[in-house]
Structure 1
């Protein structure tokens, strides 16, 4: 049986996104396991994401599906992933760059070895982006015939704006990535500014950086409304 899981930090923004993800999954009677960590723990643990996923792969039987906590599930995704027989399934955006925000790992010996090796490589080079390291590893092992790979279509790793620009209206998302990290960058910028600039940043359509965040919130809020989820994002959540 497929296990769907993820993790999030315990700050208000990611906690709210995790609530959205859980509610969206439950809307289709999908159980999802989400673990919360303090930001301090998350920052201290080297190679956090690979280590967490490798741990889940070791502890849980059956195929597993990792989803970033700032995503939303828009349909019953279980039939599609339950039918996958390859060791691993992941999307390559524009057939070039691996996106690890949705990652299927099957219950196979080679998939176990792959996750263990991802964790090992990240521990030895923690300054690198885990997604890049995973792509290098997957591409290497596929070329050597050590694993089988299914490339997910874009609807299972659909970035709300980037994928729309790339694929147009030909693709409708099944799992949509909502990119909460952009809010975190806005928060960091806000905290560095003086009071006058902070006041300007709180005006929704005055500054380009704030307009982008408001647009992201609007996308999230439209999606939650479509699913009947009573959770909304606002600028006030970030201040």
Structure 2
């Protein structure tokens, strides 16, 4: 099931009713990589809705898994240094709507999406509330990832949460986000939903593409590139038109 990305008219209508409520959206991306463009796209999609994203550039750790592993350290630092709820979103995503009003009731320590088909944690969208337990969970996650940065960060977080839930006295209140906060645009197991807040564009398909004969690309990567092209047309077409009308101005 493919859900259309909002055009400028739809985004303007959603902007009129958009409110941050003083909450913060944070993200990070590796410099000198495709993720710089991903961060630009996500920020542009947020700005159209009146949302601000604090997106931090970091140096690459050398591999896709190790770069992902830095998420735990980044979020531990962000949780410790900022007040109020934090929403983390992977930069290879776009916003369809302001998510904050829909977080009513997510007043535990952490809210995260679990893939419904495989029941595995997807750490692409994480709501981190301003609680001592949330800060401690981020610290534990950071320490575990630093111990073995070659293990996927979301696998580590899933294990920590499962271990805590199985203990006699669980420490963390972890809630589950619906798929509308972590929508993967071409997943065949997608259930029908009416509203998408955050769509994941799966940039990892670019970095994990295996060499193929005659330079061919996988069907998954082809679908991603088609979707990105469609979204970029809607996000950047008006800006490109403005620059063409005023060619003397810098981008």
The normalised TM-score by structure 2 is 0.76
Over 3 Å counting, the alpha-carbon distance change for 1:175 and 1:15 in structure 2 is same
SS of the aligned residue for 1:132 comes to helix
Q: Distance in 1 between matches of 2:203 and 2:46?
A: 18
Q: CA deviation at 1:42?
A: 7.9
Contact in 2 for aligned 1:46/1:123 (Cα 8 Å)? no
Number of equivalent positions: 214
**Larger helix share, 1 or 2:** 1
Of the candidates 157, 176, 196, which is equivalent to residue 199 of structure 2?
A: 176
Indicate how the Cα distance of structure 1 residues 214 and 55 shifts in structure 2: closer, same or farther if over 3 A, else same. Answer: same
- Structure 2, unmatched stretches of 5+, are 1-21, 241-251
State the match for 1:229 in structure 2: 236
Aligned match of 1:157: 182
| Alignment match, 1:84 | 106
Identify which of 80, 87, 92 aligns with 1:58.
Answer: 80
Q: Distance in 2 between matches of 1:45 and 1:167?
A: 28
Whether the 8 Å CA contact 1:8–1:18 is kept in 2: the answer is yes
CA-based RMSD of the aligned residues comes to 2.6
Cα displacement (A) at 1:39: 2.5
Deviations 1:153-202 (CA, angstroms, capped at 9, x unpaired): 0010111222xx1124335431111011111123x738xxxxxx6xx32x
Kindly indicate whether the alpha-carbon contact (under 8 Å) linking 1:91 and 1:157 is maintained by their aligned counterparts in 2.
yes
Larger mean CA deviation between 111-120 and 3-12 belongs to 3-12
* TM-score (normalised: structure 1): 0.80
Q: CA deviation at 1:84?
A: 2.3
Structure 1 unaligned segments of length 5 or more: list them. Answer: 191-196, 202-206, 233-239
Question: Alpha-carbon deviation of 1:32?
Answer: 0.5
Q: Which has the higher contact order (CA 8 A, sep 6+)?
A: 2
SS in structure 2 at match of 1:33: strand
In structure 2, the partner of 1:215 is: 223
Match of 1:134 in 2: 157
Aligned-pair CA distance for 1:210: 4.8
Which runs of structure 1 show a deviation greater than 6 angstroms over 4 or more consecutive aligned residues? Answer: 41-46
What CA deviation, in whole Å up to 9, does each residue of 1:129-153 have, x standing for no partner? 1111100111222344211121000
- Corresponding residue for 1:193? none
Q: CA deviation at 1:46?
A: 9.7
User: Is the deviation greater in 166-175 or in 54-63?
Assistant: 166-175
